[in-house]
Amino acid sequence: MPGDEQPFPSVWIRPQPQRREQPALSRQQIVATALELLDAEGIDALSMRKLGTRLNAGATSMYTHVANKDELLELVVDEVYGEIEAPATGDPAGWRAAVTRCAHSMRATLLRHPWIVSVLGEAGLAYLGPNMLRLQEAMLAVFEEGGFTLRAADQAMNTLVAYVIGISTSEAAWLTTLHRSGQSEQEWADRLLPAAEQAVQAHPRLRELYAAQRTQSLDSTRDDDFATGLESVLRGLTTHLTNGG
């Protein structure tokens, strides 16, 4: 029947049950333990049963707070977003510096929790979580204070976040592979580079790039590449603002 549709399933829009007694577990305990499990073993290791074992709790205690694994992921994703440094207003001329700090903090946070990039597009209504909403509001305020209209601020924020998540997704996949191999980044590169150099012999530009990597620190290179790309994004947003976009 029209009007009888169920609301979109999400922990953020589901009314919490009223309980007279104190639940055995708090939501924060569940989220913290799930985050520890994800950081230690990755997204494939997360299950309500495994989480219950870690918490030494039955399903009933957990389902007081979360209806299923999808709702749990919404909570954990928002917990991770709470680690990101939100930009501060107060200096209209310094909006780029504030946004730059936020972007670096976002990348660092995502790389501390590399599993998260695989679920960002699947975590239900994660964008309605309180930490994510606070971050979005702060970013919009800084862009708006810097001279963007609210609509342009929203577009600028989406562009910036897309860049950070896109770069971080590739980095997270790389770091996850390294973690599974038990090797350091330099050890992996030392083993891979000779084969890569051999493969690109017929491609002079790639050959030159690979040869240069022999003297480069890979983690520093990733940092520099991120900063260079971020500066390009911000320069483009500045030009858009200057041209009245």
Q: Which H helix or E strand runs over 209?
A: helix 204-212
pLDDT number for residue 1: 43
Q: Once rounded to an integer, what is the mean pLDDT over residues 200-225?
A: 86
pLDDT number for residue 188: 81
Alpha carbon distance 204, 100 (integer Å): 35
Q: 27-40, pLDDT tens digit by residue?
A: 889 999 999 999 99
Greater model confidence, 2 or 110? 110
Q: 53-112, pLDDT tens digit by residue?
A: 888 876 666 777 787 888 889 899 999 999 999 999 888 879 999 999 999 999 999 999
Identity of the amino acid at 164? V
Tokens of 54: 């870690």
Q: Measured between alpha carbons, how far is residue 222 from residues 39, 71, 119, 226, 237 in Å?
A: 22, 33, 23, 6, 23
Residue 148 above 70 pLDDT? yes
Dihedral sign (CA 90, 91, 96, 100): negative
Please count the residues of the chain.
Answer: 245
Alpha carbon distance 115, 36 (integer Å): 12
- A 10 A CB-CB count for 147 gives 14
206 burial level (CB within 10 Å; 0-12, 13-18, 19+): middle
CB 37 within 8 A of CB 50: yes
Residues 6+ apart with CB under 8 A from 155: none
Greater model confidence, 43 or 189? 43
CB 146 within 8 A of CB 92: yes
pTM score over 0.75: yes
Distance of CA 38 to the CA centre of its chain: 14
